Amino acid sequence: MTGEQVEAFQASVTRCLATPSFIKDFYNRFTGTSEEIRAKFHGTDFKRQHGAMADSLYVMALAVQGSPDNLGRQALKRLALRHKEMDIGAGMYDVWLDCMLQTVRAHDPQFSDAVERAWRATLAPSIEYMRSGVPLDP
């Protein structure tokens, strides 16, 4: 992953978050994929969850940059622990990424193959960490 990919990811996130329905559309798409995923969000305060998702996207971008003790990696550790406590199955991360990219495609007016590659490259290390617990490379 390159610094340019992280910059492209962050610019795309900013464009997507400028669309008020972006995160709502993502969660509608994601929770619509299975009863198991829908059940994970039973009783969720989605107003709060929307803010947490926006923060998490930036955390994942920070986590792939810099030293092993940067703030993004520390926040990612807490995020991974929370997901483990929620018993998030490994396959759910693939569904999450697919739904996220479908939603980005619908909301980012500058979406392109390069933007999709930037999202994948930026999110993949954090997703793999949450899935496996293997620390990110320095």
Q: Which CATH number covers residue 61? A: 1.10.490.10
**Could you give the CA distance from residue 135 to residue 100 in angstroms, rounded to a whole number?**
23
Question: What is the pTM (predicted TM-score) of this model?
Answer: 0.86
Query: Is-contact 89 31, C-beta < 8 A?
Result: no
Residue 16 falls within a domain, yes or no?
yes
The per-residue pLDDT for range 21-71, each reduced to its tens digit, is 999 999 999 999 999 999 888 888 888 888 888 888 888 887 777 677 777
Q: Say if 73 falls within a structural domain.
A: yes
CA distances from 124 to 3, 38, 127, 132 (A): 15, 23, 5, 12
- Domain of residue 83: give its range: 3-131
Compute the distance between CA of residue 11 and CA of residue 13 in angstroms, rounded to an integer. 5
pLDDT band at 14 (very low <50, low <70, confident <90, very high): very high
Q: Considering its fold, how many domains does the chain have in total?
A: 1
> Does the residue 59 lie in any domain?
yes
Mean pLDDT of 101-127: 95
